[in-house]
Chains A and B, each alone.
Chain A
Amino acid sequence: MAVAVSRRQAATYPRIFGRRIRLRAPSPQYYFLIPMAVFSILPIVYIVSTAFKPLEELLLFPPPFFVRRPSLDNFTDLLLATNALAVPFSRYLFNSIFVTLTTVLLQVLVCSMCAYPLSKARGLPGTPFIFGMIIAALMFAPEVTAIPRYLVVQKLGLIDSYAALILPGLAWAYGLFMMKQFMDNSIPPELIEAARVDGASEWTIFWRVVMPNVAPAWNTLIIFGFIAHWNDSFSPLVFTRSEAMKTVSVAMIALTNGAGSIARQGAAAAAAFLMTAPTLIVFLLRQAKVIQTMAHSGIKS
């Protein structure tokens, strides 16, 4: 009976390119979520649409939300402006990519390595104190620690080096707190105990048992870290002196804040678009991994 019904239904599916397409009413959540999502993504739409606006549309007031006659003028303007830069644009790009990737990878590694004992080594002396300090660090307004941090970087003789751009960001209280919270509940102690009985070293346990089980956590952390460091213009402005050490975020400010800022509005819009694009790509790549991991980690207790 049930089989007969489903067969009759199957026969009524419309065919597109010879395949039966299953048309189902979407889940009720969509009716609520899609309008909210559209509302939420407006700033990205605005940035993209503004990047393609010709100058006369940029100067309209009130600015139209959507571009009417899209043009690539802004991008050519930006490209022309880069000729005036002290060093080739590729140098800024290299600095940005190198600093961001190194920082994010080391950051995730350093934070995860510290989170593992804090979460899983029961009775390790000093744990509550260390964890308390990390939470405290999270709550101290970063605005006032900026100058003392500059003094530290200067005392260490790191000014104007890649180390000055990378090292201060590695001990990330936020990242450690997050990794520890994920390890607390996602990894059953029996799993670690079993690996230990099998003769695995702590290092092996960390790489083979702990990290695969908290893959959603570090993939999310990569998103946070990438966005923060890619957009960061404060560290390169403060910690480096020579033009060859600056990053794209700084170059973009120089390009768009230059003389005659009205004429540069188009370049600024193009710059905003180009700065946002990599973060969107990294987000999509990593978020897809966050969601995938569920299917792969079948070793839950």
Chain B
Amino acid sequence: MATRPEVFVPARPAVQAQRSALARFWAKWGIYYLFMAPFLALFAVFVVAPVLTAAYLSFTYFNVLEAPRWIGWSNYKLLFLEDDVFLIAIANTLRFATLTGPVGFFMSFIFAWLINPLKMKTLLALCFYAPSITAAVTMGVVWKIVFSGDRYGYLNNWLLRIGAIDEPYQWLAEQASIMPVIMFVALWMSMGTGFLVFLAGLQTVPSDLYEAGKVDGISNPLQEVFYITLPMIKPQLLFGSVMAVVQGFSVFGIATALAGLPSPLYAGHTIVAHLYDFAFIRFEMGYAATVAVILFIWTFGLGRLLMRIFSSKNEY
């Protein structure tokens, strides 16, 4: 019994020393890299390569038909110094995102939290998610009837009838009302991704935590939200906030469905509408890529900020 270890103990470190550092590294982490391999391979080919190509295109003149021609920083100079429409687009997008982003985020959480304990929650979830299921174009059709500029538009018709206005108001043609209408419709649509993710997140909070909380003196639902629910779904909140930023700054579909492209006096023009205009209407891909890079830098900066705010130091 006592002799055995004496035989084996000196042999072991020798064997380990012989194995290369690489083999030891592989033994420890290899399986995890295998788990990630399918995603990373596909990601490199179908996402990273196109994104890098697009970033390269921002330094070129590229009209899709001819090969891209390197022109250095001139797209960037043009964009900031001479493109007035882009500045309008930035202003509109900022207005849109600063309002609909946070409001949509809080609404999504509050609605998810309110319907979570109810029996009818699948049905209610369907109702709130419905605007996200139907395409922006379909919804554009519905809302265009509501905000139609003649006296037959639902809103004008109603306002005329109650005597609030004397003549039909051009909701989607007046500079002052285009952006508010777009924001209103966007908020109505905002129970999308974030809402469903919060609802799913709430399911993963163990119910015994609430019981434990009651024992520890949590007395009202508000305390329960702040001390149990919110900390437990912090990762989902980070996801929801990043998506709110991305969606807020890339607003396009609903804006053009309602106001058209280009919209009257560019009142509904957004950064991605500008990008789309150059990419698929004027076929100036290089310039469109420049817009994409600027938009990317901006949202990525905000994303890092959000990750710092929501970084969960109290993980399990």
Contact = CB atoms under 8 A, between A and B. Distances in A.
A276 B133 contact: yes
A114 B38 contact: yes
Interface of A is mostly: helix
Given A116-B35, A283-B133, A184 B235 contact: yes
Interface residues of A, number: 94
A44 B42 contact: no
A170 interface: yes
Contact of A223 (B39, B42, B196): B196
B103 interface: no
Contact of A141 (B45, B208, B272, B312): B272
A110 B316 contact: no
A188 B127 CA distance: 34
B220 interface: no
A279 interface: yes
A288 B200 CA distance: 11
B152 A287 contact: no
Nearest to B238: A181
Interface stretch (B14-22, B82-90, B288-296): B288-296
A280 B133 CA distance: 8
A139 B133 contact: no
B70 interface: no
A173 B46 contact: no
Interface in A80-132: 110-111, 113-114, 116-118, 121, 124-125, 130
B131 A40 contact: yes
Interface stretch (A2-10, A70-78, A143-151): A143-151
Interface stretch (B3-11, B49-57, B73-81): B49-57
A33 B124 contact: yes
A202 B43 contact: no
A27 B204 contact: no
Contacts of A111: 39
A42 interface: yes
B160 interface: no
Nearest to A178: B239
B201 to A, nearest CB: 7
A162 to B, nearest CB: 15
Given A184-B312, A185-B235, A62 B203 contact: no
A171 to B, nearest CB: 4
A220 B206 CA distance: 18
B267 to A, nearest CB: 21
A247 interface: no
A223 B200 CA distance: 12
A135 B300 contact: yes
A141 B274 CA distance: 12
B196 to A, nearest CB: 5
B316 A167 contact: no
Contacts of A231: 135
B186 interface: no
B32 interface: yes
A152 interface: yes
B133 A148 contact: no
Interface in B180-220: 188, 191, 193, 196-197, 199-201, 203-204, 206-208
Interface string B140-151: 001001001000
Contact of B152 (A43, A62, A138): A62
Nearest to A63: B145
Nearest to B42: A171
A170 B57 CA distance: 25
B268 interface: no
A29 B48 contact: no
B159 interface: no
Contacts of B39: 110-111, 113-114, 170-171, 176
24 contacts: A27-B117, A62-B152, A62-B154, A63-B145, A113-B38, A114-B36, A114-B39, A117-B35, A133-B43, A138-B246, A140-B296, A143-B280, A144-B292, A148-B57, A184-B312, A185-B233, A188-B316, A202-B32, A216-B201, A223-B196, A224-B193, A287-B122, A291-B121, A293-B203
Interface of A: 27, 29-30, 32-33, 36-44, 46-47, 61-63, 65, 110-111, 113-114, 116-118, 121, 124-125, 130, 133-141, 143-145, 147-149, 151-152, 156, 167-168, 170-171, 173-174, 176-178, 180-182, 184-190, 202, 206, 213-214, 216-217, 219-220, 223-224, 227, 231, 272, 276, 279-280, 283-284, 287-288, 290-291, 293-294, 300-301
Interface of B: 29, 31-33, 35-36, 38-40, 42-43, 45-51, 53-54, 57, 64, 111, 114-115, 117-118, 121-122, 124-135, 138-139, 142, 145, 148, 152-154, 157, 188, 191, 193, 196-197, 199-201, 203-204, 206-208, 232-236, 238-239, 242-243, 246, 250, 272, 275-276, 279-280, 285, 288-289, 291-292, 295-296, 299-300, 303, 307, 312, 315-316
